[in-house]
């Protein structure tokens, strides 16, 4: 087992990474109380059951899979379940699932009785390497993603690699793209693992290293006022493509979005890895429409947008570019 400490003063916690750790939950978390175990109907139900069996008094809630569950209605369902079962401030909630379940459950825990303990058991690669660390929780509201939420650090996180065995290949690659993004901008050794080995055979190593990067960034910038934005490498153009609703997963849009933000040397190393992971490296999308969405990006101002570039593997630079410059880079990168 790999134990990674997140140092955030009184909000500090551990992230445990390893195979089979879900069965160790009662030794790693305080489950000796009422526990709301939240999962979705796409996650194999035995994971939540395995957690429930280790709790003093568990209540499992299974929400529909998909982004639609990050809603005020589902939040209300979780809060009602806790209220109707007499949960008090000393009880807790555990998320067992991907980023949707984690964001939703974390937010419910942040507001029930002004905040109860929250544990996260992420079961997708994306949620293990990204959303389970950092305390960003929330729901979608008014048709806008993540509009209502809170910073709520979990009390502990278990990234059980064995839970990924049931995850479809496309979801594995989707999450690995976020790990690759961190490798490109922070860690040349991790990048070389992607380059020289078969990433799906190195999941534990890749996930642990990625979590360490995310932890370092979060420790320096808990409330996302500066450095944490560096994690948006590939996301500016990626969000533009994602907004077109072409059926791509988030990580697939990030894959396309990273390509224009690299020097040629970096691109020559990045693209073969994206191909190896079956991630898209070109796509038939409408660049004008994509850039219409980029111009509405909350990071975009009239003088331009602060964008993250990778000029050398393992490093990043942040540069202010105009939308036209960014569009030209995208055109030249030939991703569409």
Ligand X SMILES: NC(=O)c1ccc[n+]([C@@H]2O[C@H](COP(=O)([O-])OP(=O)(O)OC[C@H]3O[C@@H](n4cnc5c(N)ncnc54)[C@H](O)[C@@H]3O)[C@@H](O)[C@H]2O)c1
Q: What is the 3-state secondary structure (H, E, C) of 197-250?
A: CCHHHCHHHHHHHHHHHHHHHHHHCCCCCCHHHHHHCCHHHHHHHHCCCCCCCH
d(CA 43, CA 220): 33
Binding of ligand X by 236 (CB under 6 A)? no
Which 190-219 positions form the footprint of ligand X (CB under 6 A)?
A: none
Site for ligand X contains 169 (CB under 6 A): no
Nearer residue to ligand X within complex by CB, 257 or 333: 257
Selected from 110, 124, 153, 330, the binder of ligand X by CB under 6 A is 124
Rounded least distance, CB 302 to ligand X, Å: 28
How many H helices and E strands in the chain? 13, 12
- Name the β-bridge partners of 188: none
Q: How far is the CB of 179 from ligand X (least distance, A)?
A: 12
**Judged by CB under 6 A, which of 166, 263, 317, 332 binds ligand X?**
166
Task: Closer to ligand X by CB, 97 or 199: give it.
Answer: 97
# binding residues, ligand X (CB under 6 A): 28
Of 40 and 187, the one with the shorter C-beta distance to ligand X is: 40
By C-beta, is 153 or 330 nearer to ligand X?
Answer: 153
- With residue 303 as reference, give the H or E element that holds it: none
* Nearest residue (CB) to ligand X, 99 versus 260: 99
d(CA 212, CA 217): 9
List, in order, residues 6 or more apart from 271 with CB less than 8 Å away: 259, 281
Q: Which residues 6+ apart lie within 8 Å of 163 measured at CB? A: 22, 44, 47, 121, 123
Residue 100 near ligand X by CB under 6 A: yes
Of these, 65, 243, 283, 315, which contacts ligand X (CB under 6 A)?
A: 65
In the set 25, 28, 36, 42, which binds ligand X (CB under 6 A)?
42
List residues bridging with 2 in a β-sheet.
Answer: 17
Q: Which stretch, 28-36, 74-82, 96-104, 327-335, contacts ligand X (CB under 6 A)?
A: 96-104
Is there binding between residue 160 and ligand X (CB under 6 A)?
A: no
């Amino acid at each position: 087992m790999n134990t990674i400490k997140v140092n955030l003063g009184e909000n500090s916690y551990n992230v445990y990474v390893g195979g089979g750790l879900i069965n160790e939950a009662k030794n790693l978390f305080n489950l000796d109380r009422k526990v709301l175990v939240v999962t979705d109907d796409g996650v194999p139900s035995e994971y939540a059951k395995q957690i429930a069996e280790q709790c003093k008094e568990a209540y499992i809630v299974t929400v529909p899979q998909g982004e639609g569950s990050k809603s005020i209605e589902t939040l209300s369902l979780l809060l009602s379940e806790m209220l109707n079962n007499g949960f008090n401030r000393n009880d807790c909630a555990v998320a067992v699932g991907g980023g949707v379940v984690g964001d939703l459950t974390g937010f419910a825990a942040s507001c029930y009785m002004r905040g109860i303990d929250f544990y996260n058991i992420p079961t997708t690669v994306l949620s293990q390497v990204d959303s389970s660390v950092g305390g960003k929780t929330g729901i979608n509201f008014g048709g806008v993603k993540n509009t209502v939420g809170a910073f709520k650090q979990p009390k502990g996180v278990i990234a059980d690699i064995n839970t990924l065995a049931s995850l479809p290949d496309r979801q594995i690659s989707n999450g690995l793209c976020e790990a690759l993004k961190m490798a490109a901008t922070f860690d040349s050794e991790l990048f070389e693992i992607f380059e020289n080995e078969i990433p799906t055979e190195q999941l534990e190593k890749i996930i642990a290293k990625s979590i360490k990067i995310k932890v370092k960034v979060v420790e320096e910038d808990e409330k996302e006022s500066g450095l944490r934005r560096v994690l948006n490498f590939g996301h500016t153009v990626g969000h533009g493509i994602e907004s077109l609703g072409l059926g791509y997963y988030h990580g697939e849009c990030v894959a396309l979005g990273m390509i224009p933000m690299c020097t040629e040397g970096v691109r020559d190393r990045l693209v073969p890895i994206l191909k190896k992971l079956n991630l898209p490296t070109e796509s038939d999308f409408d660049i004008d429409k994509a850039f219409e969405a980029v111009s509405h990006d909350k990071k975009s101002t009239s003088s331009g947008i602060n964008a993250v570039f990778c000029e050398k593997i393992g490093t990043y630079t942040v540069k202010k570019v105009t939308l036209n410059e960014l569009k030209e880079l995208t055109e030249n990168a030939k991703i569409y």
